[in-house]
Structure formats: structure tokens, C-alpha cells
Amino acid sequence: MNRLIQIVLLCLFAQSALAADSAATSAVRNVLAVQKDAWNRGDIEGFMQGYWRSDDIRFAGGADYKYGWQATLDGYRKGYPDAAAMGKLDFDLIEVRELNPDVVYVFGRWHVARANEAAEKAPHGLFTLIVERESGVWSITRDHSSAAGG
């Protein structure tokens, strides 16, 4: 009888772990959806709400990296000074994996479509994110994005 109880408890534990994974990855997918919507409205500040508002956030792109929420915002403003330059953002989330209940890893593709720009010239690339939950809030703490066009 003890063996049966152990099996039942193990099954219940496995189910709750899967539910936690699903909740974490769903929350992170939501953060990215909110970011995409803000970007597509031309709202860089709204887009930045998905990032950890800390001097410890790290953003890497091309041959450079920077620390800090404000430095990351300034970089986006420089590269995308207005709604026309921002265009319309889309993501292809290739992998969203819970590393632990408070940390999710994301790997994917990004693409920006702009009016009057040929699709083959449109900015696009890959990204890897670490998204962490602190005090119940999910935020991107590490972003490594590559650019292949634009």
C-alpha cells in the first residue's frame, strides 16, 4: 500500500510541476505579446515595460552590449526614432522553456515590416531572452538580439 501512495503522490507532483511550467511560460508569452502590441502602436516606452527596470539589465546586440534600463531605452530610441522606423514587429517563438519557477528562457526570431520597404531589406534576426519573476512581475533581464537585415 505504501508503494501505491508513493506513486499517486509522484503523479500529483508531476502534474503540479507541469501546471507551474505552463503558468510560467504563459506569463512570459503574455509579456512578449504586450511588448509586440506596444511596438506596433509606436510606443517604445510601453515596449520597454517588458524589461526589468534596473541598472543590472543587460542588452547585447551586434558587437556591443550595455547595462541598464535607460541605456537600453536610449538604444532603441536611437535605432527606431519614430513609428515609421519602428514598423510592425512580429516574433516567432521557437523555444520557451521554464528553467525554474521564476526563470524562463526564450529563443526566437524577430522581424520588422515597414511601409515602402522590400521584404528582403526588412530588419530581422534572432533573440535569446532570460525572463525572471520578481515580486510576482515577469521582466526581461537579459536580451541578446542579432540583426540580419535593415
Q: Does the structure show a pLDDT above 60 at 67?
A: yes
Q: What is the pLDDT of residues 94-105, one digit of tens each?
A: 999 999 999 999
**What's the whole-model pTM score?**
0.82
Reported as a single tens digit per residue, the pLDDT across 100-131 is 999 999 999 999 999 888 878 889 999 999 99
Mean pLDDT throughout 35-57?
A: 97
**CA gap 97, 112 in Å, rounded:** 24
**Cα angle vertex 17, ends 15, 22, to 5°?**
95
Specify the pLDDT at position 103. 97
The mean pLDDT value for 139-147 works out to 97
SS3 150: coil
Domain-wise residue ranges, the chain = 2-145
CATH 3.10.450.50 for the 2-145 domain, yes or no = yes
pLDDT at 141: 98
